[in-house]
Amino acid sequence: MQTRELGSTLEVSALGLGCMSMSALYGPPADKQEMIKLIRTAHDRGVTLFDTAESYGPFFNEELVGEALQPIRDQVVIATKFGFDIDLATGERRGGTNSRPDHIKAVADACLKRLRTDHIDLFYQHRVDAAVPIEDVAGAVKDLIAAGKVKHFGLSEAGVQTIRRAHAVQPVTAVQSEYSLFWRGPEAELLPALEELGIGFVPFSPLGAGFLTGKIDQNTQFDPTDFRNNVPRFSPEARKANQALVEVVKAAATRKNATPAQVALAWLLAQKPWIVPIPGTTKVHRLEENLGAVMLDLSADDLAEIAAEVSKVQVQGERLPEAVLKMTGL
């Protein structure tokens, strides 16, 4: 497995593993023992970055990741997140965000127990909290770093000015936001700012929440608990219109003797050397397929052809429900 550096300080595998779908948002939780096997298989294949959050469940996903990685803890990088208003005793979601410094520190202690570790390698603010100055958030994480409980500070779905202000207090190692051929919003302002500041980028939903695999069309029926049922971009009408984008990826995959998922991931890896996508899956064969993207070389001509064809497609539908979009800084 090739490696990359986030923030010039944190070396990780070129592809990480997003663990959210194992226990949240994409339907019912998968079998715990099967997911422990999958996580350990990912490590056997060279994956060292594993991404979770207290809000996935809440709490179930961190407990899963902690159990799976405990025997190999010193060989992996665990990323988790704080920032939602969740009762630490009961797991009850109280709605909205909570990045008060005292809450951040309490969340860190709770995360450490669930993850069965004495330190969090990468601690992201999950969503910006408009009620708490980002300087206070960065200061709280700085205190956690000084205490040895956290190694690196990250931000998720944060705007450029927020990132700059946080970075001035405590250097930001990585920013996590959605990015793929299905959603290219970060290209305008975010990626140039991260390059200037020397901050790594960790795209989530690098396969467009599964759409870029070519396995979803307007007739696909999602589980009633699947979040995509509420996403405008996944309405049947939008899926029908957006198939034009999938056809571009499929055509490139045919030319390269690869799969659409591999092309979509290789395209991301080709954008910048400090980009580390974190595709998620609950299936070992999909894990193997995704990891094959690391060895797929897209030439300058390949990238130019993809760019030319993608430019002809106008993607339909917002990437998130309106209420969720309002919580992002992008």
Q: Across residues 189-206, what is the average pLDDT?
A: 98
Catalytic residue IDs: 56
pLDDT digits (tens, 9 = 90+) for 120-152: 999 999 999 999 999 999 999 999 999 999 999
Name the CATH superfamily for 3-325.
NADP-dependent oxidoreductase domain (3.20.20.100)
pLDDT of 330 over the 70 cut: no
What's this model's pTM, rounded to 2 decimal places? 0.97
Q: How much of the chain, in percent, has pLDDT values that exceed 90?
A: 95
Q: Answer whether 238's CB lies under 8 Å from 327's CB.
A: no
Strands (E) in 52-171, as ranges, are: 77-82, 84-86, 93-97, 120-125, 150-156
pLDDT number for residue 226: 94
CA dihedral 98→103→108→113, nearest 10 degrees, is -110
Query: By CB neighbour count within 10 A (0-12 exposed, 13-18 middle, 19+ buried), where does 14 fall?
Result: buried
